[in-house]
C-alpha cells in the first residue's frame, strides 16, 4: 500500500531492490507484479503486447469520475483502436507533423515573449504553450492572450486525473463494492469528490467540441481533427461521440506530459550551467546569433538533440505505467494469473545503473560518441499497443521520409522550445541578498508528475536576442 507522502515509484523501487526486477505480491484478491527493468518490461509489454494492453480496473477514476472513455484509461478494445487510428492519422507520421511546424514556431515565439515579460509565471507560460499547440490540432481553437479558460480547464482536469488514478489512494479501487455507498454516509467523501471530477471532465470534453460545431456552422472553423471528421458526410451519433473523446484525449494528453518536461528543462539548465553553455556554444557556431533556431536546424545540432533526450530520461513525467493481464501467462518459470495488475516503474528503468552510467547525473554526452547509451525510447512514450499514438519510430535508423528519430509532435515541440530558449535566454539560479538560491529536484504529483515550483533567473542573452524574441512572427510564410 502506498504511503501518504506519495512518490509511489520510490516505494516500488525499494520493493524491487529487495525482491528483484520481477517482484510479486498480493493485496486482498489482487495479484500484483512490479517490474523494475527495461528487459522485463519489453519482454512482456512489447513481445507479448496483446496480453498486456489493458488497464487495471479503476473504479474511482474510470467509473465514478468518468475517465474510462479517455484512451489513457480505456481497455485495449475497438473503442481504443478507433481513437488511436483517428489520432495517428492526424499526427502519426513525420509528414503530418511537419505541417504543424510553422504553427509550433508561432506558439513558441509567443511563449518566449511571455517569459521575457513575466518570468515569475514561467510554469504557466510553458503550460499554455503546449496546450495551445494541441488545441489548434484537436479542435482548431486559438488560445487568447493572457490566461485562457481552456488552458486552465485542462490544467484542472489533469490534476484531478492524476489524483483519481493514483494507485491505492482510494479504497474503492481495492474494494469496488464501496462505490454503492450513499454519498452522505461518513467515509463516502470519495463519491462527492468523484462527482466534482466528473463535472470538470464533462467540460473538458463538451466545451471544445461544441466550439468546433459552432465554428463549422458559422463557416469559420480552422482545420483540425474535429472539424475534419465532423465535416465528413454520413456522420453518425456513434462516430461523433467517439470523435469527441478522441479529441479530448489529445487535448488532455498534450496539455500535461510535454509541458512537465519543458518546465523541468529550466531546472536542469540552472543546476547544470556547463550543459547550458555547451549547448549555446553549439547554437552560436552553427546558426550564429542573428536568428533563433528552427526545425530546419535540428539535424545540425547533435548536442542539443542529446540534451533533449537526456531531459526525457532525467525528468520522468509518468513515473509508473499500469497494465492488466487478459489471460494466464508464464515468465521465466513464474506463473502470471489472468487479471494480474502490472506496475512498470519507468522512473527506476531510466535510472538503472546497469543501463546508464552515473544515472543521477544530467549528462547529454551519454547519447553521443561511438558507444552511446540507450535512448529512453519506450520507457518515455509507452510500451507495446499503448505506445503514444503520436510517437514515430525511435531507433538509430533514419530515412528520407522521417529524417530523424523522435520527430513526432510532442518531442518536436519540446525540442523547439528548448532550442529557442537557449538561443534567446541566459538561465541561472536566482540571487537573493547576495546568495544564490539553489532549487531542488523534486517530483510532485501521482500518475503524472511535475517539478515542484522553483524560482529561476531568466534574462535575454543580449539586446539582439531580446529583439529576436519580440520580432513579429506570422503564421503565414
The lowest-confidence range among 19-28, 57-66, 120-129, 436-445 is: 19-28
Query: What mean pLDDT comes out for the span 27-52?
Result: 89
Residue linked to cell 484537436: 138
Residue 29 has pLDDT above 90, yes or no: no
Residue with more model confidence, 173 or 197: 197
Residue 256 has a pLDDT of 82
Percentage above 70 pLDDT, the chain: 94
Q: How many residues are given for the chain?
A: 477
* Cell matching residue 390: 503520436
Q: Which domains does the chain have, with CATH numbers?
A: 8-470 (1.10.630.10)
Q: Are 93 and 462 in contact (CB under 8 A)?
A: no
- Split at pLDDT 50, 70, 90, the class of 406 is low
Residue 106 has a pLDDT of 94
Residue 473 has pLDDT above 60, yes or no: yes
* Cell matching residue 112: 518566449
- Split at pLDDT 50, 70, 90, the class of 393 is very low
Q: Are 54 and 75 in contact (CB under 8 A)?
A: yes
CA distance 392 to 458: 33
Residue 175 has a pLDDT of 85
Residue 177 has a pLDDT of 87
Per residue, the 3-state secondary structure of 280-326, as one string, reads HHHHHHHHCCCCCCCHHHHHHCHHHHHHHHHHHHHCCCCCEEEEECC
Residue 1 has pLDDT above 70, yes or no: no
Strand bridging mode 341-345 / 30-35? parallel
Strand partners, 436: 431
Residue 395 has pLDDT above 60, yes or no: no
Q: Are 8 and 34 in contact (CB under 8 A)?
A: no
Q: Using CA atoms in the order 268, 273, 278, 279, what is the torsion angle rounded to 10 degrees?
A: 40
pLDDT digits (tens, 9 = 90+) for 368-389: 999 999 988 778 887 888 887 7
Residue 278 has a pLDDT of 97
Backbone dihedral angles phi then psi of residue 425, each to the nearest 5 degrees: -120, 150
pLDDT digits (tens, 9 = 90+) for 317-331: 889 899 999 999 999
pTM: 0.91
Q: Phi-psi category of 289—alpha, beta or left, where left has phi over 0 and alpha has psi -120 to 50?
A: alpha
**Residue 61 labeled ligand binder:** no
Residue 407 has a pLDDT of 65
Secondary structure (DSSP) of 40-62: HHIIIIITTGGGS-BPPP-IIII
Percentage above 90 pLDDT, the chain: 65
Amino acid at each position: 500500500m502506498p504511503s501518504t507522502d506519495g512518490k509511489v515509484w520510490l516505494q516500488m523501487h525499494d520493493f524491487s531492490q529487495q525482491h528483484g526486477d520481477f517482484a510479486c505480491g498480493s493485496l486482498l484478491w489482487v495479484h500484483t507484479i512490479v517490474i523494475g527493468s527495461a528487459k522485463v518490461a519489453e519482454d512482456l509489454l512489447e513481445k507479448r503486447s496483446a496480453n498486456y494492453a489493458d488497464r487495471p480496473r479503476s473504479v474511482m477514476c474510470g467509473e465514478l469520475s468518468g475517465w474510462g472513455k479517455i484512451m489513457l484509461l480505456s481497455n485495449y478494445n475497438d473503442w481504443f483502436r478507433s481513437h488511436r487510428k483517428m489520432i495517428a492519422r492526424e499526427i502519426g507520421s513525420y509528414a503530418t507533423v511537419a505541417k504543424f511546424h510553422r504553427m509550433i514556431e508561432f506558439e513558441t515565439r509567443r511563449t518566449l515573449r511571455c517569459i521575457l515579460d513575466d518570468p515569475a509565471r514561467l510554469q504557466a507560460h510553458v503550460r499554455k504553450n503546449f496546450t495551445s499547440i494541441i488545441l489548434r490540432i484537436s479542435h482548431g481553437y486559438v488560445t487568447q492572450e493572457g490566461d485562457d479558460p481552456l488552458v486552465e480547464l485542462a490544467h484542472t482536469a489533469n490534476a484531478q486525473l492524476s489524483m483519481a488514478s493514483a494507485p491505492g489512494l482510494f479504497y474503492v479501487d481495492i474494494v469496488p463494492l464501496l462505490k454503492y455507498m450513499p454519498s452522505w454516509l461518513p467515509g463516502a467523501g470519495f463519491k462527492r469528490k468523484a462527482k466534482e471530477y466528473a463535472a470538470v471532465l464533462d467540460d473538458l470534453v463538451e466545451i471544445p467540441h461544441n466550439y468546433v460545431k459552432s465554428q463549422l456552422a458559422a463557416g469559420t472553423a480552422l482545420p483540425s481533427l474535429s472539424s475534419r471528421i465532423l465535416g465528413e458526410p454520413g456522420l453518425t451519433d456513434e462516430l461523433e461521440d467517439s470523435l469527441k473523446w478522441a479529441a479530448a484525449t489529445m487535448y488532455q494528453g498534450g496539455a500535461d506530459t510535454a509541458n512537465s518536461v519543458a518546465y523541468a528543462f529550466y531546472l536542469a539548465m540552472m543546476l547544470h550551467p556547463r550543459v547550458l553553455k555547451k549547448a549555446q556554444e553549439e547554437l552560436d557556431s552553427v546558426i550564429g546569433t542573428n536568428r533563433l533556431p528552427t526545425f530546419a536546424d535540428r539535424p545540425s545540432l547533435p548536442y542539443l538533440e542529446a540534451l533533449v533526450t537526456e531531459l526525457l530520461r532525467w525528468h520522468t513525467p509518468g513515473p509508473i505505467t499500469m497494465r492488466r493481464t487478459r489471460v494466464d501467462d508464464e515468465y521465466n518459470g513464474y506463473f502470471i494469473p489472468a487479471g494480474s495488475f502490472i506496475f512498470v516503474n519507468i522512473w527506476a528503468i531510466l535510472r538503472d545503473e546497469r543501463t546508464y552510467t552515473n544515472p543521477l547525473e544530467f549528462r547529454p554526452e551519454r547519447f553521443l560518441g561511438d558507444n552511446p547509451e540507450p535512448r529512453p525510447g519506450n520507457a518515455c512514450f509507452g510500451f507495446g499497443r499503448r505506445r503514444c499514438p503520436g510517437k514515430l519510430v525511435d531507433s538509430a535508423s533514419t530515412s528520407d521520409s522521417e529524417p530523424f528519430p523522435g520527430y513526432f509532435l510532442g518531442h518536436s515541440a519540446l525540442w523547439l522550445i528548448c532550442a529557442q530558449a537557449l538561443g534567446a535566454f541566459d538561465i541561472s539560479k536566482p540571487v537573493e541578498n547576495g546568495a544564490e538560491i539553489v532549487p531542488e529536484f523534486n517530483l510532485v504529483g501521482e500518475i503524472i508528475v511535475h517539478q515542484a515550483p522553483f524560482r529561476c533567473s531568466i534574462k535575454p542573452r543580449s539586446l539582439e536576442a531580446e529583439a529576436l524574441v519580440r520580432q513579429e512572427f506570422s503564421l503565414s510564410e
